[in-house]
């Protein structure tokens, strides 16, 4: 068997996984054992996650997977060292997660902000129960914030997303836009503070004074840089985010065996067959096959009447056949499909075709020097 490998050829469909995975800056499914005080960043960055206070995984509550992050609202949070993957500039981005309040106080969802260091103010998202608002803090041309009146419940999972799409920054709750800020082409400030989940830094970079601790559970946190995933109101995810990349430009393997021509990626999975059989033969005098695949012989039924016999039978007769005929010193002939005993000319074991002279007014069978047949099917 000969095998032809074509690299980086775009194929219909893709491998499992997400094609935009290379844009994911941080991905925290928070899966693990109960009370664990560590978790893995499933993005390609593999950031180190630092747990503070009594922050831990909790298997009793989760939106997806096996666990979620549990924070007690007192001194618990997690953080990741500052990295350019959290600094979005003027580009698109999406920061999202699921939250579940255990108590309604001043709950910071996530922040990349140092309140006492102007050069490290970038963005934060906090719910203030005292005033009943969800506040987005951001630094474009200056320190600013905008709020949405919200009365969430404890014990309920909410999907929260902060997104920039072009010149607009939005906050979504359960897929509905509740805050919209015109950012023009201004870049968000590049903060030097760590990216934190569940707490706000009310002081300076290097000497933080942490406050507004989140009390409850957080799950499936994902930050995507360079991509606005939603752009408008949307239905929140119904399953955990993909933790692997998908590829729409996979290596393609073409090979042929007794079951047909196969197209797949990496040779491991049979996909749709392209052709089940083909043959090119001389139909004059003694029939002679020039080349073929899955055709064992040609039966000469008389002038201009041929049957191609398959080496391996088709699984059904619902396929399609293409035939082309011609003569070296003559006008190209016209193939006609002939039935076999009054039925479909294509059976599971053969295909019958007749060639006629197109220049005559009546049907006249005519031997053709060039006859080609191609069979598609299951």
Q: Is this prediction's pTM over 0.85?
A: no
| Cα angle value 198/203/209 (rounded, 5°) | 55
Residue 327's pLDDT band, with cuts at 50, 70 and 90, is: low
Lowest-confidence segment of 50-59, 67-76, 83-92, 312-321 by average pLDDT: 312-321
Percentage of the residues of the chain whose pLDDT score is greater than 90: 62
The answer to whether 352 and 339 are in contact (CB under 8 A) is yes
Number of H helices, E strands in the chain: 0, 28
Query: Looking at residue 19, what is its pLDDT?
Result: 84
CA distance 95 to 27: 10
Query: Looking at residue 344, what is its pLDDT?
Result: 76
> What average pLDDT does range 246-255 have in this prediction?
53
Q: 348: phi > 0 → left, psi -120 to 50 → alpha, else beta; which?
A: alpha
The answer to whether 159 and 175 are in contact (CB under 8 A) is yes
Q: Given a cut of 70, is residue 259 above it in pLDDT?
A: no
Task: Round the average pLDDT of the chain to a whole number and report it.
Answer: 86
The answer to whether 348 and 314 are in contact (CB under 8 A) is yes
Which segments of the chain belong to CATH 2.60.120.200? 17-225
CA distances from 195 to 118, 124, 163, 199 (A): 16, 10, 16, 10
Q: Given a cut of 80, is residue 76 above it in pLDDT?
A: yes
Task: Please report the DSSP string for 274-285 in residue order.
Answer: S-SEEEEEE-SS
Query: Looking at residue 339, what is its pLDDT?
Result: 54
Residue 325's pLDDT band, with cuts at 50, 70 and 90, is: confident
Residue (of 97, 48, 63) closest to 224 by Cα position: 97
Tell me if the domain spanning 17-225 has CATH number 2.60.120.200. yes
Percentage of the residues of the chain whose pLDDT score is greater than 70: 81
Lowest-confidence segment of 10-14, 218-222, 307-311 by average pLDDT: 10-14
Query: Looking at residue 358, what is its pLDDT?
Result: 62
Query: Looking at residue 173, what is its pLDDT?
Result: 98
Q: pLDDT: is 32 or 323 the higher one?
A: 32
Residue-wise pLDDT for 23-75, tens only, equals 999 999 999 999 999 999 999 999 999 999 999 999 999 999 999 999 999 99
Residue linked to tokens 């997104």: 163
Residue 14's pLDDT band, with cuts at 50, 70 and 90, is: very low
> What average pLDDT does range 343-358 have in this prediction?
82
> What average pLDDT does range 353-372 have in this prediction?
77
The alpha carbons of the chain give a radius of gyration, in whole angstroms, of: 33
Query: Looking at residue 228, what is its pLDDT?
Result: 97
């Amino acid at each position: 068997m000969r095998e032809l490998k074509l690299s980086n050829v775009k194929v219909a469909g893709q491998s499992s996984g997400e094609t935009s995975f290379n844009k994911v800056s941080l991905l925290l499914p928070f899966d693990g054992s109960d009370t664990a005080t560590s978790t893995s960043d499933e993005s390609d960055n593999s950031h180190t996650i630092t747990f503070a206070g009594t922050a831990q995984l909790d298997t009793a509550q989760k939106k997806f997977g096996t666990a979620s992050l549990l924070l007690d609202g007192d001194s618990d949070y997690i953080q990741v060292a500052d990295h350019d993957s959290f600094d979005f500039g003027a580009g698109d981005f999406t920061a999202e997660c699921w939250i579940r309040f255990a108590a309604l106080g001043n709950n910071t969802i996530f922040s990349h902000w140092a309140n006492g260091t102007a050069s490290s103010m970038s963005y934060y998202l906090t719910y203030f129960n005292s005033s009943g608002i969800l506040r987005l803090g951001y630094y474009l041309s200056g320190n600013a914030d905008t709020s949405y009146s919200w009365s969430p419940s404890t014990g309920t999972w909410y999907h929260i997303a902060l997104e920039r799409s072009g010149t607009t920054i939005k906050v979504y709750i359960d897929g509905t836009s509740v805050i919209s800020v015109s950012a023009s082409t201004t870049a968000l400030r590049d903060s030097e503070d760590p990216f934190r989940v569940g707490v706000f830094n009310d002081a300076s970079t290097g000497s933080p004074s942490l406050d507004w601790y989140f009390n409850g559970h957080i799950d499936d946190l994902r930050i995507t840089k360079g991509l606005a995933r939603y752009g408008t109101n949307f239905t929140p995810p119904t399953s955990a985010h993909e933790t692997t990349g998908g590829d729409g430009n996979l290596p393609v393997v073409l090979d042929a065996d007794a079951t047909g021509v196969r197209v797949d990626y990496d040779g491991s999975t049979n996909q749709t067959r392209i052709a089940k059989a083909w043959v090119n033969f001389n139909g004059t005098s003694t029939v002679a096959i020039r080349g073929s695949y899955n055709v064992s012989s040609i039966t000469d039924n008389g002038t201009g009447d041929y049957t191609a016999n398959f080496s391996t039978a088709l699984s059904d007769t619902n396929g399609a056949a293409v035939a082309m005929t011609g003569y070296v010193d003559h006008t190209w002939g016209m193939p006609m499909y002939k039935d076999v005993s009054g039925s479909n000319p294509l059976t599971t074991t053969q295909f019958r075709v007749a060639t006629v002279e197109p220049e005559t007014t009546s049907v006249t069978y005519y031997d053709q020097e060039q006859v080609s047949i191609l069979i598609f099917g299951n």
